[in-house]
Amino acid sequence: MADNLRVAVIGAGRMGADHIQRLHTRIHGAEVAAVVDIDLERAQAAVAHIPGARAFATAAEAYATSVENGDVNAVLIATPGFLHEQALLEALPLDIPILCEKPLTPDADSAWKIVEAEVAMGRKRIQVGFMRRFDAEYAQLGGLIRSGELGELLMLHCRHRNPDTPAGFTNEMLINDSVVHEFDVIRYLTGEEITSVQVRLGKASSKAPNGQHDPQHVLIETSTGVLADVEIFVNAQFGYEVATQAAFEDGIVDIGGDGGPYLRRAGRWGGTVTPGFEARFGAAYDAEIQSWVDAALRGEIGGPSAWDGYATAACCEAGVEAQKSGEKVAVVLRERPALYGEGAP
Ligand SMILES: NC(=O)c1ccc[n+]([C@@H]2O[C@H](COP(=O)([O-])OP(=O)(O)OC[C@H]3O[C@@H](n4cnc5c(N)ncnc54)[C@H](O)[C@@H]3O)[C@@H](O)[C@H]2O)c1
Ligand SMILES: O[C@H]1[C@H](O)[C@@H](O)[C@H](O)[C@@H](O)[C@H]1O
């Protein structure tokens, strides 16, 4: 096993660039060896300040000789979600560690193909970028749920608000690019699979680009009947907010509220609004990628697996169907392969 991960980052857009920076400056045991972007100039700009790193327009070129000679021994996929299936099927046969940004893929069938390909290899190579599992407050809430000190968890009320959406963000992506985080974190917090999803469309914001009905109200049920509601509001203008209130038999817990300094100045009080996911989850991304690197150097994965990617993709598929029908749609999962063990998600 290598003592250093030499990572090829596929996709140098907003998230890829953030991961490149983190791998280059803050993560121990890893370096950026190659950056691939269909926009070659963007890849070149991304490697300009990283000695030894090379830029390519396609993953195939980056893998061609460099995997064989050890120049590249890990892959981080940060292309848009609808391209992950192709990127994963190209990277998996290399039999090297893969961090795939969420979603694994946007729908259940394509995600299952990835699970099948990994199962055929016989070892877990894919970690999915559900970084909320590495956020300190979500981890504390998970600890409280598992400890039982507030009794049983009964309900979760989730707010997921983004300032605006990038070009090409579709109505389906409110579910399979955004609510996919809640699907994963609800599974992680409760330790249960999700059994149904319903979506209610109410009054829409005039700020939502054509084709998007924003906000939406998503109702989720887990296998023991924990109910979660999510306000997904991706053109909320004011800033970024991801917060959850958990109702227990013996108490209420809030996480993700505005933090930071509370300022009083010139007759006013308040603080600053979080502008985006980089600021809200910066520490969680660092912890997530460090965990991936540490585990990869031991030949393991250090976070959510392809099974988690598949289970959430099945929820997304149900959610997209529910957007259209307004009905409660059941989430039916295939049998969990032995490779992914048993027990909590
Ligand atoms: N975990 C999180 O909180 C979080 C935050 C943002 C984005 N993401 C995820 O990261 C991924 C990328 O999102 P983004 O916001 O950076 O998107 P983006 O559009 O900013 O960047 C995507 C990049 O991929 C490149 N690209 C497109 N097709 C390519 C191909 N075939 N080969 C190589 N490069 C190609 C584009 O040129 C672009 O530079 C998505 O899966 C998204 O869901 C996760
Ligand atoms: O890709 C982004 C990212 O995953 C953010 O964490 C989420 O808040 C956004 O809704 C999504 O579009």
Domain check: are 123 and 222 in the same one?
no
User: Does 345 map to a domain?
Assistant: no
Residue minimizing CA distance to atom 5 of ligand 2: 277
Predicted confidence band at 1 (pLDDT cuts at 50, 70, 90)?
low
Burial 235-261 (b: 16+ CB within 10 A, else e): bbeebbbbbbbbebeeeebebbeeeee
| pLDDT digit string, tens, across residues 279-314 | 999 999 999 999 999 999 999 999 999 999 999 999
Asked if residue 162 has its Cβ within 6 Å of ligand 2, the reply is yes
**Residue 243 CB less than 6 A away from ligand 1:** no
Helices (H), the chain: 14-25, 40-47, 59-64, 84-91, 108-121, 136-147, 171-173, 180-190, 277-297, 306-325
Specify the pLDDT at position 261. Answer: 85
Residue 336 DSSP code:
P
Identify whether residues 298 and 174 lie together within a single domain. Answer: no
**Ligand 1: which of 75, 79, 105, 288 to mutate, judged by most atoms within 8 Å of the beta carbon?**
79
Q: What is d(CA 211, CA 167) in angstroms, rounded to the nearest whole number?
A: 12
Residue 154 lies in a domain: yes
Residue at 39 is within a domain:
yes
Q: Residue 257 — pLDDT band, cuts 50, 70, 90?
A: confident
> Which atom in ligand 2 lies closest to the alpha carbon of residue 166?
12
The parent domain of residue 165 ranges over 136-276+310-340
Mean pLDDT of the chain: 96
Tokens 């990277």 -> residue: 91
Q: What is the Cα–Cα distance from 269 to 261, expressed in whole angstroms?
A: 11
Q: Would 174 be classed as within a structural domain?
A: yes
Smallest Cα–Cα separation from 40: which of 61, 19, 70, 26?
Answer: 61
Number of separate domains in the chain: 2
pLDDT at 194: 98
User: What ligand 1 atom has the least distance to the C-alpha of 36?
Assistant: 33
Q: From the CB of 309, is ligand 1 less than 6 Å away?
A: no
Measured from the CA of 43, which atom of ligand 1 is nearest? 39
Please work out whether the CB of residue 126 comes within 6 Å of at least one atom of ligand 1: no
Q: Are 291 and 214 members of one domain?
A: no
Cβ burial, residue 33 (10 Å; 0-12/13-18/19+): buried
Q: Is residue 179 part of a domain?
A: yes
Do 107 and 251 belong to one domain? no
Query: Domain containing 258 — which CATH number?
Result: 3.30.360.10
Same domain, 30 and 65: yes
Cβ 277 under 6 angstroms from ligand 1 = yes
Is there a single domain that holds both residue 238 and residue 218?
yes
Q: What is the pLDDT of residue 236?
A: 98
Test site for ligand 2: of 15, 173, 179, 181, most ligand atoms within 8 A of the Cβ: 181
Same-domain check for residues 30 and 147: no
Residue 189 burial (CB count, 10 A): 26
The domain that holds 48 is classified in CATH as 3.40.50.720
Same domain, 82 and 151: no
Answer yes or no: is the ipTM higher than 0.90: yes
Q: What is the separation, in whole angstroms, between the first and last Cα of the chain?
A: 28
pTM equals 0.97
Reply yes or no: is the peptide bond before residue 103 cis, omega within 30 of 0: yes
- Asked if residue 178 has its Cβ within 6 Å of ligand 2, the reply is yes
Residue 66 has a pLDDT of 87
Q: Are residues 142 and 209 in the same domain?
A: yes
Same domain, 126 and 141: no
Q: State yes or no: pLDDT of 254 exceeds 90.
A: yes
Using CB atoms within 10 A of its CB, is residue 151 exposed (0-12), middle (13-18) or buried (19+)? exposed
33 and 90 assigned to the same domain: yes
Q: Tell me: the pLDDT tens digits for 153-198? A: 999 999 999 999 999 999 999 999 999 999 999 999 999 999 999 9
> What would the pLDDT profile of 31-65 be if each residue is shown by its tens digit?
999 999 999 999 999 999 999 999 999 999 999 98
Looking at all shown ligands, the one closest to residue 179's CA atom is 2
Mutate to test the pocket of ligand 2, among 277, 281, 316 (most ligand atoms within 8 A of CB): 277
Nearest CA to ligand 2 atom 9: 178
The number of residues making up the chain comes to 345
Q: Ligand 1, residues 15, 44, 289: which to mutate, most atoms within 8 A of Cβ?
A: 15
Are 171 and 62 in the same domain?
Answer: no
Residue 171 lies in a domain: yes
Is residue 246 a part of any domain in this protein? yes
Report the C-alpha dihedral over residues 230, 234, 240, 246, rounded to 10 degrees.
0
Confidence of residue 259 (pLDDT cuts 50, 70, 90): confident
**What's the token pair of residue 200?**
């209610």
Ligand nearest to the CA of 88: 1
**Do 302 and 127 meet the contact criterion of CB atoms below 8 Å apart?**
yes
The whole-angstrom separation of Cα 23 and Cα 235 is: 30
Residues 6 or more apart in contact with residue 170 via CB below 8 angstroms: 211, 212
Structure tokens of 216? 């939406």
Q: Hey, which residues does 254 pair with through a beta bridge?
A: 245
Residues 288/277, Cβ–Cβ less than 8 Å: no
In angstroms, the Cα distances linking 37 to 40, 56, 77, 182, 338 are 6, 7, 11, 29, 35
Q: Whose CA is nearest to atom 12 of ligand 2?
A: 178
Task: State the Cα–Cα distance between residues 307 and 225, nearest whole angstrom.
Answer: 22
**Mean pLDDT confidence for 138-144:** 98
In the prediction, which pLDDT does 332 show?
A: 94
